[in-house]
Amino acid sequence: MPGPGDRGGKKERPKDTKGTLLRILSYLKEYRWAVAGLTACAFLSNFGNLLGPGFAGHAIHAAGAGAGKVDFDVVFFYGRCMLIAYVASGLLTFLVNVGMMRVSRRVAQKMRGDVFDKLMTLPVGYFDRNQAGDIISRVSYDVDVLGTSLSTDVVQIITSVVTVVGSFLMMCVISLPLVVCMLVTIPMAVLYTSRMGRRTRPLYAKRSAAYGRMNGFVEEMFTGQKTILAYAYEDGVCEEFSAINHAAADAYRDADTLGMTMGPTVGFINNLGLALIGLVGAVLYLWKIVDLGPISSFVLYSRKFSGPINEIANIVNEIYSALAAAERVFRLLDEPEEVKDIYGAKTLTDVQGDVEMRDVSFGYVPGRTILHSLDLKADAGKTIAIVGPTGAGKSTIINLLMRFYDVDAGEILVDGHEIRALTRDSLRRAYAMVLQETWVFRGTIYDNIAYGKENATMEEVVAAAKAARIHSYIMRLPEGYQTVISEDGTNISKGQKQLLTIARAMLYNTQMLILDEATSNVDTSTERQVQQAMRSLMAGRTCFVIAHRLSTIQNADRILVLDHGDVVEQGTHDELMAQKGFYYRLYASQFE
């Protein structure tokens, strides 16, 4: 998916319509009996509709049975039969519509659940490559499009097929010469619909992709709204959105403009057929080959025959749109999951905290290596600080330690175990992590701190909050620890959010801790307090600290200095300062 700098993107085209339909049907398999029952009701409903024209023909015949003589009993009888048939058909149609709506809602719910479950199994790299807005678009918009199509279009297709077949059979019974008139225009309608379908399918796929890009851009801009305002770049953002919005509108226009021509054109072809039937029917009546009643019934059946064809021409656009949306959803479901643990992978238990990286090389993109033959040794209970300029590879080391990515070469060991021989779950549970990008969710403060530790007591949560120096702030809130944080924590400051995440990590009792600029959003005074508290709580634990403010890692047991993926220096703060090398220049630049 293109990023912000590549808004055009690649046009998406449906690749496997048959496979997509089969996968959609697999979701309906669970409700096959309900669908079968609703299909039977649809058949009965259309059977009732098909009886109506026959009853009408009999009534017309009875009304004109003799000159000036009308058999009212027969007319009223067939009139009552028509009323009963149409009322029963209407009730059954209502039942079918409600039933299919419920089935489609369940299918959409299951599909949305499958997509969300899939997202939980995808590697971090997938989220690095794809915009959040586009992913959200697949979870919401695309699934909704498919659900709507199932609830309306499927019923319409079933009823249309029954109506077309039934009407055709009834017309064959009434008059074969008139059927020949119908057969003149039917191939025209079928060929036109088929040809237009091939043209509209890629346009609807393009429309879905365009909406995904637009959602991705909107999500990005809303996330960075404060930055946009700070740089007074509102006009620039509006211009970018205008271009993306224009592209989405063009995609919508191209698909719907072409699609909307199908219904009227098929309707015109059907009307030609009806005119031909009227002309030939009049001749046959004058020649006394066919009576007025059967001709009336035939005309009504011809309308029922052509009406569904016209409707199918209209809904075929919606079906192609649904197929395009379904393919986007299924492409996400088919994304390769995070590599499974190897057979016989061990569970990491009784963690001591010895970590070693041996001759590690890694690059996010093949051919572009970020880390080159990196060696790192962290003894249990020691604090390792990782410093260096932006892009040096600091966060990449964290990604490798947590196995968000696997190394291209070399190996990483924890307590002597190569981490690829361990289960990911046990490896990641051995770490607590505090990132620079704080994450809190809608819920109470207690829930946010206790996140990750099952059955955490209030006493444990309070102790962690006190250690993170946020307890006094929490107690000043109206509901204390039961105060609800709004979505993404917009009702608390960034520094308070970071303190909450620090408290969360303190509560999560592990032997290893990762801090990625964990105090970047707190003031200097609070930072000193948090550093003191963290040093006491981290006693005996292995800690990896990424820091840009070098004053915060002076007490680290070992400092690794990275530059362009290479460890250019390592040692304690005093040793590195004495060397007056790369670290010395970094440190001095922050105090000039």
Structural domains in the chain, CATH included, are 17-333 (1.20.1560.10), 355-589 (3.40.50.300)
- When comparing pLDDT for 537 and 305, which is higher? 305
Single out the residue of 207, 212, 213 nearest to residue 252, CA to CA: 207
Mean pLDDT in residue range 40-50:
78
Q: Inform me whether the pLDDT recorded for 563 exceeds 80.
A: yes
340-359 residue pLDDT tens? 888 888 988 888 889 999 99
Q: Inform me whether the pLDDT recorded for 6 exceeds 50.
A: no
| Least confident piece of the model among 13-27, 371-385, 427-441 | 13-27
Mean pLDDT in residue range 26-33:
84
Give the angle subtended at the CA of 124 by the CAs of 121 and 125, to the nearest 5°. Answer: 120
The reported pLDDT for the residue numbered 305 is 73
The reported pLDDT for the residue numbered 5 is 34
Q: Where are the beta strands (DSSP E) in 379-510?
A: 383-387, 409-414, 417-418, 431-434, 443-444, 484-485
The reported pLDDT for the residue numbered 169 is 81
Q: Inform me whether the pLDDT recorded for 592 exceeds 60.
A: no
| Least confident piece of the model among 4-8, 137-141, 382-386, 522-526 | 4-8
Band the pLDDT of 26: cuts 50, 70, 90.
confident
Q: Inform me whether the pLDDT recorded for 1 exceeds 50.
A: no
Classified as helix, coil or strand, 440 is coil
Q: Inform me whether the pLDDT recorded for 9 exceeds 50.
A: no
Classified as helix, coil or strand, 413 is strand
Single out the residue of 476, 475, 503, 491 nearest to residue 443, CA to CA: 491
Single out the residue of 98, 99, 100, 115 nearest to residue 23, CA to CA: 115
- When comparing pLDDT for 72 and 25, which is higher? 25
Mean pLDDT in residue range 558-586:
87
Mean pLDDT in residue range 506-521:
78
Gap between the Cα atoms of 104 and 96, Å rounded:
12
Band the pLDDT of 537: cuts 50, 70, 90.
low
Gap between the Cα atoms of 326 and 205, Å rounded:
10
How many CB atoms are closer than 10 A to CB 521?
19
- When comparing pLDDT for 187 and 224, which is higher? 187
Band the pLDDT of 412: cuts 50, 70, 90.
very high
Residue 305 host element (H or E): helix 292-333
Q: Inform me whether the pLDDT recorded for 413 exceeds 90.
A: yes
474-513 residue pLDDT tens? 898 888 889 888 766 566 777 778 788 888 888 887 888 8
Provide the H-helix boundaries in 261-291.
Answer: 262-286
The reported pLDDT for the residue numbered 419 is 92
Residues 535-539: contacts with CB under 8 Å, at least 24 apart: 536/467, 537/467, 537/506, 538/383, 538/513, 539/381
- When comparing pLDDT for 447 and 547, which is higher? 447
Band the pLDDT of 65: cuts 50, 70, 90.
very low
Mean pLDDT in residue range 100-108:
85
Mean pLDDT of the chain: 78
Name beta bridge partners: 562.
567
How many percent of the chain have pLDDT more than 90? 4
Gap between the Cα atoms of 390 and 37, Å rounded:
63
Separation in Å, CA 531 to CA 356, 432, 509: 25, 16, 18
Mean pLDDT in residue range 564-589:
86
| Least confident piece of the model among 26-40, 255-269, 417-431, 497-511 | 255-269
The reported pLDDT for the residue numbered 64 is 58
The reported pLDDT for the residue numbered 411 is 93
Mean pLDDT in residue range 177-183:
75
Separation in Å, CA 170 to CA 178, 266, 269, 301: 12, 22, 21, 7
pTM above 0.75, yes or no: no
Give the angle subtended at the CA of 302 by the CAs of 299 and 303, to the nearest 5°. Answer: 90
131-147 residue pLDDT tens? 777 788 788 878 888 88
Single out the residue of 450, 431, 448 nearest to residue 439, CA to CA: 448
Q: What interhelical angle do 143-174 and 72-119 show, nearest 10? A: 150
Q: Do the beta carbons of residue 412 and residue 359 sit within 8 Å?
A: no
